[in-house]
Homo-oligomer: A and B are copies of this chain.
Amino acid sequence: MQRHFEKELDSLKTNLIKMCSIVEDAIGSAIKAVLDGDKELAQRVISGDQRVNSLELEIDNAIIDLLALQQPVAVDLRFILAAQKINNDLERIGDHAVNIAESALMLIKTPIQEPLLEIPKMAEIAQTMLRNAIEGFICSDPQLGKTVLAQDDIIDELNKKMVGDVIQLMKTEKNLIDGGLELIRVSRNLERVADLATNIAEDVIFIAQARVVKHHAEEKDSSPKESSFPDR
C-alpha cells in the first residue's frame, strides 16, 4: 500500500512538472508573439490551451483518487492540497497566455507608434517570478518562493506606470486607442501572471513550512488604491 502511494505521489509530481513546463512555454511564446508580431506563434498558444485544460482535469482527478484511496496525512496531505491549488493556478496562467496571444493578434492589426513601453521589462520580471515559483516547487525550496514574493510589488508599480503612459498616448492620438487598450490588456495579464506566480510561491512556502503567508500584501497595505487597473 505504502509503495503504491509513493508511486501515485511521484506520478502526481511528474504531471504537475509537465503542466508547469507547458504553461511556462505558453507564457514565453505569447510574450514573444507580442514583441515580434508573430501571428503563427500566437495561434499556436491559443490552440495549445486545450492541452493545459485536459492536463488540469487529469491532475485534479488523480488528487481526488489519492485523497480517497490513500488518506494521506501530515506532510503528504499538505503537499497534495497545495498541488491542487498550484494545478488550478497553472491552468489560470495558461488562460492568461491565451489572453496575451489574442492581444498579439490584435496588435498586428492595430500597430501603435511608441510600441511597447513597460511591456518587455514586465514580461521579463513576470517570467522570472514564474520560473522561480515553479523551480521552488520542483526543488521544494522555500527560499526561491521568497524571492518571488519580493518581486510582486515591482510588477504592480510597472503595471500602474504602463496604464498611465498608455492613457496619455491614447489622449494625444485617438488612432492609438485600439492598440492602447490591447497594451493595457497585455500589461494587466502580465500583472495577473505575477500574482499567480506569487500564489504558487506562497504554496511552496506552505508545503515547506506549514506557514500561511497569504494575504501578505493586505497586511502591508490595506488602503484603497488611487490609480486605475491594479487589478486583483
Taking Cβ atoms with an 8 Å cutoff, the residues of A that contact B are 43, 46-47, 49-50, 53, 57, 60-61, 63-64, 67-68, 71, 73-74, 77-78, 81, 84-85, 88, 92, 95-96, 98-99, 101-103, 105-106, 163, 167, 170-171, 174, 177-178, 181-182, 184-185, 189, 212, 214-215, 218, 222, 224-225, 228-229, 231-232
Contacts and interface: CB of A to CB of B under 8 A. Distances in A.
B68 A77 contact: yes
6 nearest interchain CB pairs?
A95-B232, A71-B71, A46-B224, A53-B215, A171-B174, A170-B177
A57 to B, nearest CB: 6
Given A47-B224, A167-B181, A181-B229, 18 more contacts: A50-B218, A50-B222, A53-B218, A57-B212, A57-B214, A67-B81, A68-B74, A71-B71, A71-B73, A84-B84, A92-B232, A96-B232, A102-B225, A105-B224, A170-B170, A170-B174, A171-B177, A185-B231
Contact of A64 (B50, B81, B228): B81
Contacts of A105: 224
Q: Is the interface of A mostly helix, strand, loop or mixed?
A: helix
A213 to B, nearest CB: 11
Nearest to A106: B228
A93 to B, nearest CB: 10
A108 B117 CA distance: 29
A177 B180 CA distance: 11
Contacts of A171: 174, 177
21 contacts: A46-B224, A47-B222, A50-B218, A53-B214, A53-B215, A57-B214, A57-B215, A67-B81, A68-B74, A71-B71, A81-B84, A88-B88, A95-B232, A101-B224, A102-B224, A167-B178, A171-B177, A178-B228, A181-B184, A185-B228, A185-B231
